[in-house]
Amino acid sequence: MQSLPAPANTGEYTLTIYMTNLAAAALGLLLLWLCWKLDDEQKGRFRNYLVVCLGALLGWALAMFFSPYGPFDKDILDNVGKWTSAFLSGYAVSKVDRFIESSMFDGKTAKIDAWIRFGLFAGALTLALIAVGTNRMYQK
């Protein structure tokens, strides 16, 4: 079994990493504020928080997959990627159309709350993907 690599020296990218983390923290706080502001009742706010958490976790996982630290990480993540792509290409893709149709639209009318939550999810996913990916790529 291989040992994990020593912590990296960020060198010339230190400012890039710090600014990315600062921007990620500010945008993360904005997302949390939007979760609170975009719904009037507590139950809806908690749904918003859950959606943001799910988006951030998926973004984190994708960033780890796309920016492995070395051969040790790459081998493990390639294996996980094969299983995930097999699942997504087979089962999940066949269900996406029906899911979008039933959860995002009411007949021909868009469900505003669902689209707001989709925006929160996409924002959290993108934020985590950029922040974690940047940290992993520049700290190699």
> Mind listing the pLDDT tens digit for each residue in 57-114?
999 988 988 888 777 777 888 878 788 787 777 777 777 778 888 888 888 889 999 9
pLDDT band, very low/low/confident/very high, at 140 (cuts 50, 70, 90): low
Buried b / exposed e along 40-67 (16+ C-beta atoms within 10 A): eeeebeebbbebbeebbeebbbbbbbeb
pLDDT of 124 strictly over 90: yes
Q: What's the token pair of residue 10?
A: 């960020």
Residue 82: what residue type? K
pLDDT of 38 strictly over 90: yes
Give the per-residue pLDDT at 9. 60
Contact (Cβ atoms closer than 8 angstroms) between residue 128 and residue 120: no
Between CA 73 and CA 76 the distance in angstroms is 5
Give the per-residue pLDDT at 48. 95
- CB count in 10 Å sphere of residue 124: 25
Identify the residue whose tokens are 């923290």: 25
Average pLDDT, the chain: 86
Name the pTM for this structure.
0.78
pLDDT of 14 strictly over 90: no
Give the per-residue pLDDT at 139. 79
